[in-house]
Chains A and B, each alone.
Chain A
């Protein structure tokens, strides 16, 4: 995957069916605890092994929801570059991500459209998988520049229709 600052995606480079570059990351206990504390989530299942196993009934501490959201955001904007502006995100968690897991993010473009205000949108189906199992799915609608000088971040009011 290209360094984020070097990416400058525009709409005519994107078509339905395009695959986003894959992102793989090995999760450690530090990943889980850092993610929880960065999101000010002090709940014990994200840092206390004994609580997670014996109280929650899972096999280890696990990634919290806000940190998963940040992983998805990072994955999408790695692809779009900094001009990409996410308008809508919907994710569904089927199972938890634990230390020792290798999480793999994959995404595919499911739609490209321009709204009535002239904003170009890419719809993405993104998944977080561990091995053969899908842990979380994420549907994203992200505004991308229609041309090299366009900047979705400048849109406001009626011109921003996520």
Chain B
């Protein structure tokens, strides 16, 4: 018998959020992201190489979550939605004030290109029983996200494991 609140139990296996990328994929963030890790791959800096190899500019594969992070502030929104919103829903529903991400798996499909619009569907795969770690006492949870582009092509499938916890007194 699960010790999870019924509300949380009901989320498991369900698509909980469907969202669009915050804006069309653009090269400014691609350059800034590559600069942040000093990635000199000519795919991202030399349009002739990008054209020859991939048919035009592409974004680094690992930037997927970047496109879905909401603006820190927006005039028509009272409350800032968080990326991986299920992660934050679980923190609130399970009264676990702290949380970290522990595992992340990504399987990549078609490349992401400037001008693309992306879509993501988040679902909750599982929540563990209470576990004690060096950080405190809490639960591990697995979130799955499927990303697609404006043509309905699969861009990536992502599995994320989070650990929500309360620090031990």
Contact = CB atoms under 8 A, between A and B. Distances in A.
Contacts of A160: 109
A20 to B, nearest CB: 15
Interface residues of A, number: 42
Contacts of A17: none
A92 B69 contact: no
A87 interface: yes
Given A38-B32, A39-B69, A83-B53, A90 B103 contact: yes
Given A42-B72, A70-B62, A73-B60, A88 B36 contact: no
B4 interface: no
Contacts, number: 124
B63 A39 contact: yes
Interface in B39-89: 39-43, 46, 49, 53-55, 60-63, 65-66, 69, 72, 83
A137 B4 CA distance: 31
Contacts of B111: 153
B116 interface: no
A57 B60 CA distance: 32
B135 interface: yes
Contact of B60 (A37, A42, A70): A70
A4 B37 CA distance: 13
Interface centre among B22, B35, B39, B46 (most CB of A within 10 A): B39
Interface residues of B, number: 43
Contacts of A77: 39, 41, 43
Nearest to A7: B41
A31 B35 CA distance: 10
A86 B63 contact: no
Nearest to B106: A89
A121 to B, nearest CB: 13
A75 to B, nearest CB: 9
Contact of B108 (A35, A37, A86, A151): A86
B107 A162 contact: yes
Contact of B106 (A5, A38, A78, A88): A88
B128 interface: no
Q: Which 5 A-B pairs have the closest CB atoms?
A: A40-B69, A69-B62, A74-B39, A90-B105, A38-B36
Given A35-B37, A78-B40, A89-B104, 9 more contacts: A3-B40, A39-B69, A41-B83, A42-B69, A69-B104, A71-B37, A82-B42, A90-B103, A91-B103
Interface of A: 3-5, 25, 31, 34-35, 37-42, 55-57, 65-67, 69-74, 77-78, 82-83, 86-93, 151, 153, 156, 160, 162
